[in-house]
Structure 1
Amino acid sequence: MKNDLLLRAARGEETEHAPVWVMRQAGRYLPEFRSVRATHEFFEICRTPDLATEITLQPIRRYTGLIDASIIFSDILVIPQAMGMEVLMNPGPHFPDPLNTPEDIAKLSKDVDVNQELGYVFKAITQTRLALDGEVPLIGFCGAPWTLFVYMVEGGGSKTLQKSKSWLLKWPEESKALLVRIADVCVEYLVGQVKAGAQLLQIFDSNAGELAPHHFAEFSVPTLQRISAGVRSKLAEENIPAVPMTLFAKGANHALGFLAEHSGYDVLGLDWCIEPSKARALVGDKVALQGNLDPNTLYGGKEAIEREVKRMCESFKVGGKTKGWIANLGHGITPGVDPEDLRWFFECMQKYSATASSK
């Protein structure tokens, strides 16, 4: 690796400055992405390794020397597709035939061969890893079972999560069984990504904060633990070195202390709704942290971006040192961001996140 900052930070080590990348960094804010998207359907890109590789590399090319990780271009909803559900993207995700009652679970594939159903992702990862030539590490990912459950039941995005929360209340045991079923596919999928070349894994529980704390503990946490334990166990069985694993449970800041102690992840992602110093006090040195600038800061202009980055860096540092911190936004970058404002964010990060002794 020519740049191993991300991997060192994920292990809790001190780094010269915080490694930085952003969620959805290969996406609609980039004109080069929109150029590819103009002639290719979204899931066509996901399923075509050459296109997925090209889009994954776009931000690395544009921000050479400023960005410290790549993340494979794909989507969390490839898992429901692999389980037999149809998913369309126009413009947001839509399931024409969602799961309305537990009886509908019978429509899902009983056995999922991830190599057959998701082999295109593995090919894209291998191609991308080779194309990167060690410039930065490559991140693989999947959606968390609860977040995928929501899409599969709601049939798309939802502000209320009425259907999926009703499932938990009406059919708690059937809901848990489906969540476990999704988790087991996630394990196989993530192990396949490591075999293909992914050097860090991230699990996105984007809907974690929609659950009451007791429901998060009952329905989401057990499957998050099942994934971390399952991935590590299967890699060990095949004598494959473990890779760091990041959990981003958006909105579940109430559970940070518990997750640091009991989730089995190396890194916990933070949204922008918690002060970094408070998060560090909750987790101690048990895990590294990732985050957490409000994505809308990137619309505030250079002065505001610099001010907020400086503030964030001061809150994340421990005794003037940058240790166990991966810099990121508190959620995904949005389509209207000017790529040059993101460049300024990266430049400010290098300046203000530097460990005092390395300035």
Structure 2
Amino acid sequence: MTPGARVAASIEIIDDILAGQAAEQALTRWARNSRFAGSKDRAAIRDLVFAALRTWRSDAVLGGGEDGRARMIGRLRADDADIDALFDDAGHAPAPLTDEERQAGATPTEIGDRWNLPEWLLPQWQAALGDDAEAIALIAQDRAPITLRVNTRVCSVADVQSALESEQVLTEANSLSPTALTVLSNPRRVRQSQAYIDGWIEMQDAASQAVVDAIPDGTRALDYCAGGGGKALALAARGFTVWAHDIAPGRMADIPDRAERAGVQIRVVAPDQLPAKEKFDVVLCDAPCSGSGAWRRSPEGKWALTQQRLDELNGIQDEILDTAMGHVTPEGTLVYVTCSVLTCENEDRIDAFLARHAGWTCSFRKRWTISAEGDGFFTAHLTRG
């Protein structure tokens, strides 16, 4: 496909998203109907669509309209691209710009347009991030880093870097965690690399790794909201005997294979298989949240979030903590985690828990902001006494 044809495909997919399709669904449907597109074409189109989702508001202002064509014009203007070379109607490229399109569009000046956030969320974003609110909002419009977790049970960080370099995948140390490497080149080769196949590495955000690094030592751990199992695997790599639990067991389907590849054992349990009497030194609650700290990876989420849904999430977060606390040993630690930067999902939930449960204290809490090295995360450690 020509660069112009890729732009035309992106416009089509954005229009499908505007019509109500989820981004992944729209991308998959387009790919199935476009067998001529190679892997590089699909990757380039995906990058264009996700860039547009991250800068949804500013692209509309720059492009002078709300539809896919206007938003893509705005995206290309933001990148100082040669729009006339891409909109030339040749080789399935979009039709040339009209005089009206050339005159339309303006530099974004409103805060919500510049920060690319929903208007209703701006006060909460500013309250949570203070003087850094604008800088972090702008960072959140960039692509997220691709980060690996080194399985130090079986190899060293240096071993991984050397092995990946031999397959033209360059990495550098990430300051957020001693097990984290940021991928500098050829990220799409990682899953085909021998290091990945042999269980030397997993794909995991560096701040997510730092959350696990901060957990106190122990013997038995329950990952109460395990999902795909990234943190359960990291706990197992630290030497914990790990149980993985999730209210939706289907989310944990890949954990056994991932654990086998990593050379660890994780017991996967559905809600009706977790006995109330089972106690753990660490109970990790990576709670469902807005995902605001990871919107670079899932930008569609910030436009789908509403105040009502945020309130619902706060209730779910409280319920998870209240239930999971029953599985903590008397000397154990209840670990609360979100990939959110919003106070209502973080500090407020811990304060509310402490107000509900006398005898519990918060022994540790920390934020990791959205940065060039990792996503935005929050964690707190709750203990008795």
- Normalising to structure 2: TM-score of the pair? 0.27
Q: TM-score, normalised to structure 1's length?
A: 0.28
Where relative contact order (Cα < 8 A, 6+ residues apart) is larger, the structure is: 1
Higher strand share: 2
Q: In terms of Rg, which structure is larger? A: 2
